[in-house]
Structure 1
């Protein structure tokens, strides 16, 4: 069957979308973005087959998914999984979602490996988190296990230790009680923040060193008496 465009109307709310009416029907057969309107010359008098209409509708769905993803990316960097989940919430079909993600990856607008690396460095530096918690957070954002592992492993040991030492020293100053109890609680605090056991214990040792030295001096003073 051949359909003829009999009317084209601009959407009242989305000014860059247009409704295409065929064969004098009262309901539009197509709703397309302005770019597709021009590309396919969807003006009054154009004749289209059912197959052509189906292809245009599929292309518009892909375009819609891509445009939504671009707007979502404008807020902050995203992983491919975050893009997928967002488009699903917008009730976009799987095929247009796959198209949008593939195109964004091809255009280097989303790159999970680069995202994971930058996220890990930022969380360590400004978030005060250790590699184990950072790895978990990456997975929650949809980064696959291999990429999350690689990004967390790339964090420098010295840099991670320095962050742990800083967090431990700050926490130690606010703690009260016996030194052994404080050391235990501080170690638990650092482990919860995702620092490996050896890094956490080294930070605890350094944070408590001054108080231990003071206690040693008190003991020596008592012996002198």
Structure 2
């Protein structure tokens, strides 16, 4: 019966090179890199040393990660600020960086994207001006992470505009 070879543990230097390559491929947060380093079965002290070195050498930067994450999720997945904030918190990003990342999304573009999402959903589902249909739109936009007051404003504009 075939048995795979047991992988030999990586040295600290080898782990650093792999982690640097991991960070260079795309922006990463400290938590993601830490989890990757744990898979190399390194002692906690070495993991922390590698993380510090990656930050010193600018491979790892949580502010840069937060801004890239927020911009990407907003532009590509059309996520709202609340969902982006929640995801960044779950990744252990400091509050100051989360705030800066939220500021990267311009208010006019944010409202425009929300209204476009609402209009697209209304047309796709052939929704009318009933309370049930408006609630369906509300639930949809809330699940995307948009603020309730902005959603209601958008829904009201959508059904009053001709």
What is the TM-score with the length of structure 1 in the denominator? 0.62
Residues 81 and 165 (structure 1), Cα distance of their counterparts in 2 relative to 1, 3 Å cut: same
Say which SS state the counterpart of residue 179 (structure 1) adopts.
Answer: coil
Say which SS state the counterpart of residue 208 (structure 1) adopts.
Answer: helix
User: What is the aligned partner in structure 2 of residue 105 from structure 1?
Assistant: 55
Question: In the TM superposition, what is the alpha-carbon distance from 1:191 to its structure 2 partner?
Answer: 1.1
Segments of 5+ residues of structure 1 without an aligned counterpart are: 1-30, 32-59, 214-225
User: What is the aligned partner in structure 1 of residue 4 from structure 2?
Assistant: none
| Structure number with bigger Rg | 1
1:7-65 Cα deviation digits (max 9, x unpaired): xxxxxxxxxxxxxxxxxxxxxxxx9xxxxxxxxxxxxxxxxxxxxxxxxxxxx843123
User: What is the aligned partner in structure 2 of residue 44 from structure 1?
Assistant: none
Question: In the TM superposition, what is the alpha-carbon distance from 1:69 to its structure 2 partner?
Answer: 0.5
User: What is the aligned partner in structure 2 of residue 76 from structure 1?
Assistant: 26
Contact 1:168 1:204 in 2 (8 A): yes
Question: In the TM superposition, what is the alpha-carbon distance from 1:128 to its structure 2 partner?
Answer: 0.6
> For the residues of structure 2 that align with 1:175 and 1:208, how far apart are their CA atoms?
14
Work out the number of aligned pairs and report it. 155
Residues 74 and 108 (structure 1), Cα distance of their counterparts in 2 relative to 1, 3 Å cut: closer
What is the TM-score with the length of structure 2 in the denominator? 0.83
Contact 1:138 1:148 in 2 (8 A): yes
Say which SS state the counterpart of residue 25 (structure 2) adopts.
Answer: coil
1:65-106 Cα deviation digits (max 9, x unpaired): 311202322432111111011101221111221111111111
- Which structure has the higher relative contact order (CA within 8 Å, separation 6+)? 2
Alignment of 1:56-67 (within 5 A): 61-67=11-17
- Specify which structure has the higher proportion of helix: 2
Segments of 5+ residues of structure 2 without an aligned counterpart are: 1-8
1:93 has 2:38 as partner: no
> For the residues of structure 1 that align with 2:99 and 2:42, how far apart are their CA atoms?
31
- Specify which structure has the higher proportion of strand: 1
User: What is the aligned partner in structure 2 of residue 183 from structure 1?
Assistant: 134
**RMSD of aligned residue pairs (Cα, Å):** 2.4
